[in-house]
């Protein structure tokens, strides 16, 4: 059978691979984290299923950040290789029709074949939110840690400075994380208030399992007078998690953004997004 030029062109088009970068937002309440586990559903599995239908071939996404169970995201980044000629710009609309309401693809772009969403990132921004009010709200309880007592924000902010820079954060990660290297770089911690919401914003090159929640819990305990401020540095230097108490609940933590542009990362003149 003779194969025509049009058929060859179509075959070439179907076999062509384009690496696609997606920005994904999700409510992490119902998931075991971004990565799936043997007996629990992660965000990645839901994305794989929906994208495979849109692409008409099996898709396996790679995530830039392995958010924990119950942690949310506004700016998670994933990549996958797309075969065929589906316009990349149409992917968000197509896949969002198939995704549950607690996951949404907010942007899509084609990137170079050698782009790596995890290793090419220059920084990440996480936000922890405390609802500092005596009156609970049924509309945001899934996204905040509610604490109605007084918080000494100035003391929390001054204590946060001990974490800035490159440190061994052994005391501020889960003991069963399985890692051997606990050195990470924290570039900035900003503590602010808007109405009843207290925000703890973290920027850094990378984070250990439960690291942000552990530091946030330490700072909250110091702010409410449950821990002496000096404990933060003692725990950091001694690598002793036993000096700490609260690990802030997952529901208050959101991955805001992953940065791939050194010029924008930590630009203090630009608004927090």
Active site residue ranges? 68
Q: Pick the closest to residue 245 from 272, 265, 219 (CA basis).
A: 219
The span from the CA of 191 to the CA of 202, in Å, is 9
- At 201, give phi and psi (nearest 5°): -100, 130
Helix (H) or strand (E) holding 167: strand 165-168
DSSP code of residue 54: H
User: 61, 75 in Cβ contact below 8 A?
Assistant: no
- Angle among Cα 142, 123, 158 to the nearest 5 degrees reads 70
Q: Other C-beta atoms within 10 Å of 260: how many?
A: 17
Q: Quickly list DSSP for 71-111.
A: -EEEEEEEEEEEES---GGGHHHHHHTTS-TTEEEEEEEEE
Q: CA 263 to CA 271: how far, in whole Å?
A: 14
Q: How far apart are CA 13 and CA 29, in angstroms?
A: 40
DSSP string, 246-257: ----GGGEEEEE
């Amino acid at each position: 059978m003779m194969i025509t030029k049009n058929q060859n062109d179509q075959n070439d088009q179907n076999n062509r691979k384009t690496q696609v970068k997606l920005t994904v937002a999700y409510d992490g309440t119902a998931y075991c984290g971004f990565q799936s586990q043997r007996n629990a559903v992660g965000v990645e599995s839901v994305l794989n299923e929906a994208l495979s239908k849109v692409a008409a071939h099996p898709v396996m996404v790679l995530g830039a950040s392995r958010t924990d169970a119950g942690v949310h995201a506004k700016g998670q980044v994933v990549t996958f290789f797309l075969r065929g000629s589906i316009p990349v710009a149409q992917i968000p609309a197509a896949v969002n029709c198939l995704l549950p309401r607690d996951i949404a693809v907010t942007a899509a772009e084609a990137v170079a074949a050698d782009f790596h969403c995890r290793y090419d990132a220059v920084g990440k921004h996480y936000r922890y939110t405390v609802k500092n009010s005596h009156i609970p709200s049924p509309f945001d309880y899934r996204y905040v840690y509610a604490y109605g007592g007084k918080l000494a924000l100035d003391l929390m902010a001054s204590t946060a400075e001990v974490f800035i820079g490159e440190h061994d954060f052994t005391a501020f990660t889960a003991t069963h994380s399985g890692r051997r290297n606990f050195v990470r770089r924290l570039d900035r911690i900003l503590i602010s208030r808007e109405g009843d919401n207290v925000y703890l914003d973290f920027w850094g090159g990378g984070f250990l399992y439960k690291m942000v929640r552990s530091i946030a819990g330490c700072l909250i305990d110091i702010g409410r007078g449950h821990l002496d401020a000096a404990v933060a540095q003692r725990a950091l230097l001694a690598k002793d998690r036993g000096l700490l108490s609260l690990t802030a609940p997952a529901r208050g933590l959101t991955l805001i953004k992953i940065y791939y542009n050194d010029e924008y990362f930590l630009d203090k003149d630009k608004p927090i997004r």
